[in-house]
Amino acid sequence: MFSIIQAAGWPIWPLIACSILALALVIERFFSLKTPKVAPPRLLDEAITVSRASVPSSNVVAQLEQNSLLGEVLASGFSALNANPRISEDDLRSTLEGAGRQAAHKLERYLTALATIASAAPLLGLLGTVIGMIEIFGSQAGGASNAAGGNPAQLAQGISIALYNTAFGLIVAIPALIFWRYFRARVDGYLLAMELATERFMRHLNTLRK
């Protein structure tokens, strides 16, 4: 492996850094986007059940907020009612929408960085290819007056830099793009589920508010 890195030259080091960063982002997103941490299936029903007669106490609301991202959104509605039982429907909806936007921001965290790596890795590989071509042309120019037709070692080095960097750029970019699309689809699914849950919860809060 180290011999490949040596043959690829210095342009491969930014690609190695991108690959390490992409791997770290993928692992982090896998743990952060688990269903129990985002939107547990029975959480909404449980929140409605415990507040069937009245708004829960602040301790229950605090536990709900720490449960998941959906719990944070639901807890914001309970907190708004606890703070002002006469809150208007528009203000209550604005509170839930604000909490929903914060939850969406947390869901989309690092996805832009992963998409940037997927886009930049082929360009970094292309940079290595260009540098390799420069090495090749340099060897040919250096050998213009040489009967052997150039420096074979420098020619081989230029070819190695060009091919290794092109291949490694694609090796980094393709998985990063696949995982970005996977996480993007997963986030979109969570956002839809949370939006539907919030609409149902809003109707429930209106009955408590009245």
What is the residue extent of each domain of the chain? 2-209
Q: How confident is the model at residue 139 (pLDDT cuts 50, 70, 90)?
A: low
Confidence at residue 136, expressed as pLDDT on a 0 to 100 scale: 74
Separation of first and last alpha carbons in the chain: 69
- The arithmetic mean of pLDDT across residues 179-191, rounded, is 96
Give the CA distances from residue 101 to residues 95, 98, 114, 121, 145, in Å, rounded to whole numbers and listed in that order: 10, 5, 21, 31, 68
pLDDT one-digit tens code per residue, 78-103: 999 988 888 888 999 999 999 999 99
Say if residues 173 and 161 touch (Cβ distance below 8 Å). Answer: no
Q: What is d(CA 101, CA 105) in angstroms, rounded to the nearest whole number?
A: 6
Confidence at residue 9, expressed as pLDDT on a 0 to 100 scale: 67
Written in H, E and C, the secondary structure of the chain is: CHHHHHHHCCCHHHHHHHHHHHHHHHHHHHHHCCHHHHCCCCHHHHHHHHCCCCCCCHHHHHHHHHHCHHHHHHHHHHHHHHHCCCCCHHHHHHHHHHHHHHHHHHHCCCHHHHHHHHHHHHHHHHHHHHHHHHHHHHHHHHCCCCCCCCCHHHHHHHHHHHHHHHHHHHHHHHHHHHHHHHHHHHHHHHHHHHHHHHHHHHHHHHHHHC
pLDDT one-digit tens code per residue, 147-179: 445 566 667 677 777 788 888 899 999 999 999
Q: 120 vs 162, which has greater pLDDT?
A: 120
Q: 56 vs 10, which has greater pLDDT?
A: 56
Length of the chain: 210
Q: 16 vs 3, which has greater pLDDT?
A: 16
pLDDT one-digit tens code per residue, 23-70: 999 999 999 999 999 999 999 999 999 988 888 888 999 999 999 999
Nearest in space to 80 (alpha carbons), one of 55, 105, 63, 104:
55
- The arithmetic mean of pLDDT across residues 95-120, rounded, is 95
Whether the pLDDT of residue 183 is over 60: the answer is: yes
Confidence at residue 38, expressed as pLDDT on a 0 to 100 scale: 95
Entry pTM: 0.83
Q: How confident is the model at residue 1 (pLDDT cuts 50, 70, 90)?
A: low
Nearest in space to 47 (alpha carbons), one of 206, 197, 209:
197
Whether the pLDDT of residue 145 is over 60: the answer is: no
Joined tokens for residue 74: 């639901």
